Amino acid sequence: MSGDKSFFTAVSDNIKKLLGKGVESGGTSATEKDVEAYDPPANEEKEMRRVFETAWDTDGDKEYDVEYSFMISSDFVQMKSHAAEADLVLVYSPDDPEPEGINAPYIFVSTGDGRVFELGEQFRETGKTEGFIQKLSGGKFRFKCLAEYYGDVIYLYGGDIGKTWENCGIAMVYPKSLKGTPTEKILMSALDHAAETYEEKFTEIQSG
């Protein structure tokens, strides 16, 4: 389940280019102008919709289409990642309904990302993780944490999803420059709602 981090490293690099020289891998702050650009009014109501994606999974000798879905606001634009470790990516783009590429904070469902797997293993082995927040029960997700992610921040609901996807989950990635800003609260709240509304539907693939 170890994932190739090259895609997400590239995404992080694009985020840093977008924010400009104020963002460095060491976590220095963005300029005030840059941060304000990510701070829409917190009380502005956005349309909510359910987004869907389908992935393939197995269980023993059976194969399944796994349709997973969750609720997210229209501030997030659905993109295809074309990466094995993340089938679905939604870019945070409140001012542009058609962003060019994955150039902003984003939410993704991990089906094999290496860093997410590492955090899941930490929890499985010790009951805690780097940046551990809370143990969860009663659903697909077993914990949530706020940790480092290739120079950025990851807010993660980790667990075992699908039929056999261990140490996966749903996550929000954003630059360190957004820590402590109103936008960070918006992003974390969006992921909380996505995790609360996450659902899966399994359809067995019939051979022949």
Residue 196 lies in a domain: yes
pLDDT of residue 9: 42
Q: Is residue 59 within a helix (H) or strand (E), and if so which, with residue range?
A: strand 48-59
Residue 112 lies in a domain: yes
CA distance 180 to 187: 12
CA distance 47 to 74: 5
Residue 53 lies in a domain: yes
Residue 13 lies in a domain: yes
Residue 1 lies in a domain: no
CA distance 141 to 46: 26
Residue 43 lies in a domain: no
pLDDT of residue 56: 87
Q: Coil, strand, or helix at residue 164?
A: coil
pLDDT of residue 108: 93
pLDDT of residue 59: 87
Residue 174 lies in a domain: yes
Number of domains in the chain: 1
CATH number of the domain that residue 171 is part of: 3.40.1000
Give the helix ranges, DSSP H, for the chain: 6-19, 32-37, 114-126, 182-196
Q: What is the residue-level pLDDT of the chain in tens, covering all 208 positions? A: 444 444 334 444 443 343 333 333 333 333 344 444 445 444 455 789 999 998 888 888 889 999 999 999 999 998 866 555 556 899 999 988 888 877 669 999 988 899 999 999 999 999 999 999 999 998 899 999 999 999 999 999 999 988 888 999 999 999 999 999 999 999 999 999 999 999 999 999 987 6
Phi/psi at 124 (5° precision): -60, -35
Residue 125 lies in a domain: yes
Tell which residue, 154, 123, 125, 126, has the closest CA to residue 141. Answer: 123
Q: Which domain holds residue 128?
A: 6-38+49-204
CA distance 42 to 26: 28
